[in-house]
Amino acid sequence: MSSQGYAFADVADVQERLRETGYLADEAIATTVFLADRLGKPLLVEGPAGVGKTELAKALTTAVGAELIRLQCYEGLDEARALYEWNYKKQLLRIQAGASLAPEAVAGVAGAAGADRAAGESAGLATWRETHDDIFSEEFLLSRPLLTAIRRSEPTVLLIDETDKADVEVEGLLLEVLSDFQVTIPELGTLKATRRPFVILTSNATRELSEALKRRCLYLNLDYPSAAREKEIVLSRVPELGERMAESLVRIVRSLRAMELKKAPSIAETIDWGQTVLALGFDTMDDAAVTSTLGVVLKHASDQARAISQLKLGAN
């Protein structure tokens, strides 16, 4: 990190250091990452599956020498999984242990008989207050990713992955964390970040995220890369493939993406395809090679049928 506390010197520095980790970022990606760092804002990365959203967060973590804290979003994700929860089992054990050590106090709470009753009750209440303070302390707190990221004093990248899969209510939770970098726990007070994590949120855009959430973030729309960049990415991941084969694969993948498919092939699938044809020892992507390995890039029977007819595979 530089002396001003920024992770990157300029846009070229972002590009260069991401490249060192194996992530090839174009100018737009590098610029947004640079700005997110300078402005201290969370970065929302939206785009189709397999275009390198999650990978960007991982590459960034390596590039700045941070640790990655990941919150994987899913339907039903709640505060207890995202932020914190109290360790009920441990609390219960502590209460039970306390009760066996001081049975008269518990009897007081339960209601003692006769003249001792009032004294017993007040002693019981005092003990209960102590117990309450005891069991709602740090020792019984189970920290989940959002709280963990806020409280770390070391460099941290917080990845809130697939945000659109979580229920809308979770966005409310994220708002406090992302705008003030703090978490309020009623029993403990407000815990503020001593060192802001670099936050990346990803979304496949299966639903619109709230305006309030978007307003707090910088936005990067990540789409399929240019042919030249995709070829470079494939070659960086499968160098043995060779220029010519990488070029053919990317060309076919791009023509597949132009078709009306249920699921267009992603960069991840282009890379898989490269590994497949390499493993099979193909040195040219002729019709037979494409047809026999199409399952690596197209995973719906109807998509395969459409591709075979539109690419006129097996026509001769």
Ligand X SMILES: Nc1ncnc2c1ncn2[C@@H]1O[C@H](COP(=O)(O)OP(=O)(O)OP(=O)(O)O)[C@@H](O)[C@H]1O
Among ligand X, Mg ion, none, residue 31 binds (CB under 5-8 Å by kind): none
Work out what residue 200 binds among Mg ion, ligand X, none; the CB cut-off runs from 5 to 8 Å by kind: none
C-alpha to C-alpha distance for 17 and 11, rounded to whole angstroms:
10
CA distance 34 to 43: 10
Is the CA virtual torsion 81, 87, 89, 92 positive or negative?
negative
* Binder of residue 50, out of Mg ion, ligand X, none (CB less than 5 to 8 A by kind): ligand X
* Between 95 and 296, CB nearer to ligand X: 296
Nearer to ligand X, 8 or 23 (CB): 23
Shortest reach from residue 53's CB to Mg ion, in Å? 5
Q: Which entry of ligand X, Mg ion, none binds 49, CB below 5 to 8 A by partner kind?
A: ligand X
Write down the least CB distance from residue 53 to ligand X, Å: 3
Q: By three-state DSSP, how is residue 228 classified? A: helix
Choice between 51 and 149, CB closer to ligand X: 51
Binding site for ligand X (CB under 6 A): 22-25, 49-55, 202, 204, 233, 237, 267-268, 271
Cβ contact 133:186 at 8 Å:
no
Q: Residue 307 CA to chain centroid, in angstroms?
A: 33
Least distance from C-beta 4 to ligand X, angstroms? 27
Our CB check for Mg ion shows the closer of 21 and 54 to be: 54
Shortest approach of Mg ion to residue 61 CB, angstroms?
A: 14
Closest of 64, 65, 71 to residue 37, by C-alpha: 64
Which does residue 23 bind out of ligand X, Mg ion, none, counting CB within 5 to 8 angstroms by kind? ligand X
Q: Which amino acid is at 186?
A: P
Of 54 and 143, nearer to Mg ion (C-beta) is: 54
Which does residue 34 touch among Mg ion, ligand X, none (CB within 5 to 8 A, set by kind)? Answer: none
Residues near Mg ion (CB under 5 A): 54
Which residue, among 164, 178, 197, has the nearest Cα to 68 in the 3D structure? Answer: 197
Tell me the DSSP string of 149-205: HHH--S-EEEEEETGGGS-HHHHHHHHHHHHHSEEEETTTEEEE-SSPPEEEEEE--
Whether the Cβ atoms of residue 99 and residue 106 lie closer than 8 Å to each other: yes
Q: Please tell me the distance from the alpha carbon of residue 70 to that of residue 20, in angstroms, as a whole number.
A: 22
Q: What is the smallest separation between the CB atom of 226 and ligand X, expressed in angstroms?
A: 11
**Choice between 64 and 183, CB closer to ligand X:** 64
Angle between helices 27-39 and 53-63 (to 10 degrees): 60
Q: How far is the CB of 42 from ligand X (least distance, A)?
A: 17
The total of other beta-carbon atoms located within 10 Å of residue 134's CB is: 14
Q: Which residue is nearest to ligand X (CB)?
A: 52
* Of 72 and 304, CB closest to Mg ion: 72
Q: How far is the CB of 106 from ligand X (least distance, A)?
A: 52
